[in-house]
Amino acid sequence: MMKKLTMLCLVMVFSTAICVHSGNAGEKVTLANGDWAPYFGENLKHNGVVSRIVKEAFALEGVDVDYAFRPWKRGFEEAKQGKLDGAVGWVKNDDRLKDFFFSAPIAKNTNVFFVKKGTDFSWNSVSDLGKYKIGGIVGFFYGKEFEDAEKSGAIMIDRVPDDETNFKKLIAGRMDLIIADLEVGYDLINTKMGEAAGQLTHNAKAITEEDLFLLMNRQNTSNEQLIETFNKGLENLQTSGKSDQYYEESRRGEYRVK
């Protein structure tokens, strides 16, 4: 085995290359993916920042990735049925663990408050929010404490269909605070808000945080080893600083195709 690995690394005589484990070289997986900018998207550069991280983590271990873009539910079902090897961008729960092996977290969905710069705002609990006009999204769950406070009238959340509408209302002064995913928020600020982008920032305290994962179908028992392979590549990518670099690029709007 050591001899084989040494021979693989000899390609570096001609060019700089990554030395991959010979057992994975040439292997390919097909993963369900969907549209959720800037994390994932068929029409985004590198198919989105998290799609890039997943693909490059696998590549470090000699595994090639193809993405099959589907509506989220359809893609999940195809992965569950074994029509695809797995899916990216899902939260872990007991039901899904029955059908899938889960990777280490590939991303974190963090909801925060966005505000206009210069706003005197801080908060420790939901009870601090009653005096503010808050923008949210129809159908989104921001945690039981928020849900109970909204139902009781302790806080008022004006819910609209999409984040872009909320950011425009914030800029216009019709909202004091809006709730949005951290990465989604900065992607919209830098691609949709024009000259007003410089007026906006976020409060550092998270409202909710959820890890997102790569799922691989349990019907193929070799996928358990592939998850371990992926986790190794992901750790190396994160240690190199590449993951942080890609998120910084994303927050500048660089994953939107101009």
Per-residue pLDDT of 102-122, as tens digits, reads: 999 999 999 999 999 999 999
**Nearest residue to 149 (alpha-carbon basis) of 170, 173, 179, 174:** 179
Per DSSP, 197 falls in state G
**Nearest residue to 183 (alpha-carbon basis) of 257, 248, 87:** 248
Please check the confidence at residue 129 and state whether its pLDDT lies above 90.
Answer: yes
Residue 25's pLDDT is what? 61
Contact yes or no for 206/110 (Cβ under 8 A): yes
Confidence of residue 256 (pLDDT cuts 50, 70, 90): confident
Per-residue pLDDT of 38-70, as tens digits, reads: 999 999 999 999 999 999 999 999 999 999 999
Percent of the chain past pLDDT 90, that is, above it, reads 85
Average pLDDT of the segment spanning 156-171: 96
Q: Which two tokens stand for residue 139?
A: 């159908």
Please check the confidence at residue 7 and state whether its pLDDT lies above 70.
Answer: no
Please check the confidence at residue 23 and state whether its pLDDT lies above 60.
Answer: no
How far is residue 235's CA from residue 229's CA, in Å, rounded to a whole number?
A: 10
Residue 24's pLDDT is what? 63
Average pLDDT of the segment spanning 93-98: 96
